[in-house]
Amino acid sequence: MAAAGAMALGVTLHMGATFLHVAPENVLRQEHGPAIRGYLYPEFRQAWNLFAPELPTSDVTLHARATVRDGAGERTTTPWTDVSAPDLAELSSGPLPSRGRHQLRKLWSDIRALGAQDGQVTGARADDLRTATARIALDRLDLPEGEIESVQFRTVTTPIPPPRWAGGQHAAEPEVTEHGWWSLPVGETSAPSDAAPEPPAGPEVGR
């Protein structure tokens, strides 16, 4: 009985948080907005599409690297890593891919939808998106011991060639776009830093 009551309470709180999140602007949403967003993002984000989207013309992968300062004060920059690769691998191999495994791509799309080419927008909404994006990406990096100071993203856009019967031009070479560094924790500065630390010599991962 106690377990059933706890489950019912949990479902009620979840439904209430979801309702307030998608509801029009109101007093409750303004007062409890940060707590609601912190609970819903990224696992329970709401994004509905009524109609099927147009077929994609390019394949976009998201890469990340981070700067870490060790106990001796030395800063290390990790190699680039394709942090979207686990999602794409699961989508290709799993008959029932997890919806939660694709939050990184959706979060990055939301950041760009805000007009944030490098995440350079302010406000609680932008900070929530950047915090969730950085958290997922850092979990997928091979990080050395130390304090994580900042994270940087880049997008690699590979045009999808048209089918042979459609004719048209052949696909161009992949386009690599590096975005600005985000100081961690997100929100400590008004905008991400454009000053990138010197990366270590050696090959990069995910090029």
Query: What pLDDT shows up at residue 139?
Result: 92
pLDDT digits (tens, 9 = 90+) for 109-125: 888 777 655 545 566 77
Query: What pLDDT shows up at residue 205?
Result: 37
Query: What pLDDT shows up at residue 178?
Result: 92
pLDDT digits (tens, 9 = 90+) for 6-59: 887 777 877 777 766 666 666 776 777 777 777 776 566 655 544 455 556 778
- Taking a C-beta distance cutoff of 8 angstroms, is the pair 41, 128 a contact? yes
- Residue boundaries of the structural domains of the chain: 2-40, 60-165+173-183
DSSP characters over 94-121: -SS--GGGGHHHHHHHHHHHTT-TTS--
pLDDT digits (tens, 9 = 90+) for 156-170: 988 877 767 666 666
The pair phi, psi for residue 151, each rounded to 5°, is -140, 145
Identify the three-state secondary structure at position 156: strand
Is the pTM for the entire model greater than 0.75?
Answer: no
The pair phi, psi for residue 79, each rounded to 5°, is -70, 165
